[in-house]
Amino acid sequence: MTLLALASAGLAVGCVFVGWTLLRLPVDGGMVADPGTGGSLVLEAADGEAFAARGVLRGDAITADRLPRRLADAVIAIEDRRFYEHGGIDPRGVLRAALRNATAGRTREGASTITQQLARLLYLSQERTLARKAQELLIAVWLERQLSKDEILARYLSSAYFGAGAWGADAAARRYFGKAAGDLSLAEAAMLAGLVRAPSQLAPTRNPEGARQRAGLVLTAMVETGRATQADAAAARDAPVALRTPPEMVPGRGYFADWVEAETRRQVGPVPVDVMVRTTLDPALQDIAERVVGSALDREGTRAKVGQAALVALSHDGAVLAAVGGRDYGASQFNRVTQARRQPGSLFKLFVYGAALEAGWQPDTSVVDQPVRIGTWEPQNFGGRYRGRTTLRDAFAQSINTVAVQVSEAVGRNRVIEVAKRLGVRSELASVPSIALGSTEVTLLEMAGAFAGVASGSRVEPYVLRAVRARDRPLYSRAEPGIGGGQTAPVLTPAARAGLLDLLLAVVRDGTGRAAQLPRPVAGKTGTTQDNRDAWFVGFTADVVVAVWVGNDDNTPTNNVTGGTLPANIWRAFVSEADRVKTATAQAAAVARPVPPGAAGRPPQATAPSAPPAMPPRPAVRGQAVVLDTGTLRVAGQVVRLGGVIGFSGEPARDMALYLAGREVICEPADAGTHRCKVGDRDLSEVVLFNGGGRAARDAEASLQRAEDQAREASRGLWAAW
């Protein structure tokens, strides 16, 4: 009687426990990604190389009628050998796993069935308690009664996490190997099957050797269960598994990736599917930017009391080639290129002088550096000195504050603001006297875009996206950029732009930006704010616009850092190293290209000028020049061909345009309808050939042939690729 009572009591307790367990089943605690979660973004550089992935990768659902057989066999072999035989719970499997793990001295085989794992994934959290285990067993039995074995397996493969943001087998196959789950090789299937027990630890992007070893265990299990032959397993072990996947996020790429992700969602809205995003990123330039910024801060940050720096590099049409948003993405995800609003200081004088030049002022216009008082405000020059009478060019090059304020007041602050807006500044600009000295806040990207507008002649909107595509359709494609990113309307009058180029070249040649000098023309401007809290340098060459800012997030002063010191040094280091990489790449490409017969030592792409034929020679043509190519100019409305030069368009012509900007060219008629032109006391044909901007014509005189030989020996200009 006592035994019967005890048994009855035990049964009652068991029933109560089962009932209590059923009542407490949580149906929303699983690991499966929220079905409403958007798809993933795989980010590609401009050359198509993937460099990052963002979001949850979804892939396609696995269905019972289209099971990826190799992967299914691999998962069953390593996770649940008797999957097709048990009813959701496998006591024999538990015993076998315990014995094998004890023999191996480590956890080699799991005890939970695939059905139990699916129960956890769909309905339960990963809490390890007796009640939760009981719930798992009950749900597993229920699932076995509701679904076929293949349906259970398909749902499991669609729900399991495989690491690196990939939920489901198809997502994992695409994430790691760039293919659908049904196309996996045996070696690839074994590697994926090995991930489900420790996806974060064994993800091949993080632990390729661990993933490979685990795949070997899966292949052994497949042979033991008859799901693979010895020969097939041996071949799979010997077959190298090639990952086609973005690497784990490099910290410096994080700023660019955040920017791209936000811009993608702005352009295409919510992304319900996995998409590939082609960006403007140049990986080589990005590496250089990260290295240069990091090295400068490591070397000089403490002494200079500078805690942060940012750099952005644009092509002339606005494509963002590289961006470093701060010193350490891991420590701060705040992007100082796009998000930080800081006072630009004298950098803002670009707009002041642009407005003046549009109003008819000239670089040689005489101005007076003298004390200025507007109300109670008295702007001061750096160093507290006044120079008296000077030119607009020198005042800009030396960044004289009192002249900038006088110019701003003379042309009108609203006109200055209008020029800034036209060049792409979107921040609010207060119409106060100190606006001439950059007292209102802007972003580094806005200033980079404004300088790009001067460089290109048209308004430039910096951009990071080229295309967004799902597997089955394009979602976004940027129109092929033309001048100024597809906009042809000039952002400044031709005379004002030419004048600004003159002024910007003078800054680097003779003024506060001398630290940014290169062996080729550089146009730029420094900026420094009160108490040296912000220091900027933005400059451009014929092919790139680069903006640099240094300072502190808490706005504390630096140790006398000006735009012409640390920022200009960072700028020069970046562009110099980028030039070396570009030259090395061009040389490698040249080695791979055959040289046409008779063209040894000369670039095969050189062609005769495509510019309009020269007009009949006139006595001495003089004025500012428009460069058609490096052998052809338009001066005072007349097309002028340089004697002895076969010209090139493209980058050499842009370099030449920077060199000539704002300068008077004097051209004397020569033979065969050509001219010999001078800039100052220098023969322009000789300048072009000495700098590798063109080729010497067959009938070029000896001095021009020598200039070409010197350029070739020094690997300058177009000879850098040969």
Query: Which uninterrupted H or E stretch holds 623?
Result: strand 621-623
- Around Cβ 367, how many Cβ atoms within 10 Å? 23
378 is known as an active-site residue: no
- The torsion angle over the Cα atoms of residues 439, 440, 445 and 447, rounded to 10 degrees, is -50
* Distance separating alpha carbons of residues 642 and 632, to the nearest angstrom: 6
How many distinct helices (H) and strands (E) make up the chain?
23, 21
* Both tokens assigned to 390: 């000077």
* Both tokens assigned to 557: 């002063």
Residues in contact with 141: Cβ distance below 8 Å, sequence separation at least 6, in sequence order: 87, 88, 89
What residue type is assigned to position 636 of the chain? A
Q: Which residue has the tokens 């732009």?
A: 497
* Both tokens assigned to 714: 């020094």
* Both tokens assigned to 580: 């070396």
DSSP assignment letter at 306 = -
49 is known as an active-site residue: no
* Both tokens assigned to 316: 């002339």
- Around Cβ 228, how many Cβ atoms within 10 Å? 25
Would you list the DSSP string of 128-183?
Answer: --HHHHHHHHHHHHHHHHHS-HHHHHHHHHHH-B-STTBBSHHHHHHHHHSS-GGG
Query: Rounded to 5, what percent of the chain is helix, strand, coil?
Result: 45, 15, 40
CA distances from 621 to 11, 665, 670, 673, 683 (A): 112, 8, 12, 13, 15
- Around Cβ 78, how many Cβ atoms within 10 Å? 26
CA distances from 310 to 292, 296, 451, 462, 535 (A): 11, 11, 16, 16, 11
Instruction: Select from 59, 38, 32, 47 the least CA-distant residue to 123.
Output: 32
Phi and psi based region of residue 420 (left: phi greater than 0; alpha: psi -120 to 50; beta: remaining) = alpha
CB 631 within 8 A of CB 688: yes
At residue 390, φ and ψ (nearest 5 deg) are -150, -175
What residue type is assigned to position 525 of the chain? K
What residue type is assigned to position 508 of the chain? V
Radius of gyration of the chain (CA): 34
Q: Which residue has the tokens 């959701």?
A: 88
- Active-site residue identified among 159, 346, 434, 685: 346
CB 342 within 8 A of CB 368: no
DSSP assignment letter at 377 = B
- Active-site residue identified among 40, 44, 79, 408: 79
Strands 366-369 and 474-477: unpaired
Strands 625-629 and 621-623: unpaired
* Distance separating alpha carbons of residues 72 and 464, to the nearest angstrom: 41
Strands 308-314 and 320-324: antiparallel
Q: Is the dihedral of CA 275, 280, 281, 282 positive or negative?
A: positive
Active-site residue list: 79, 346
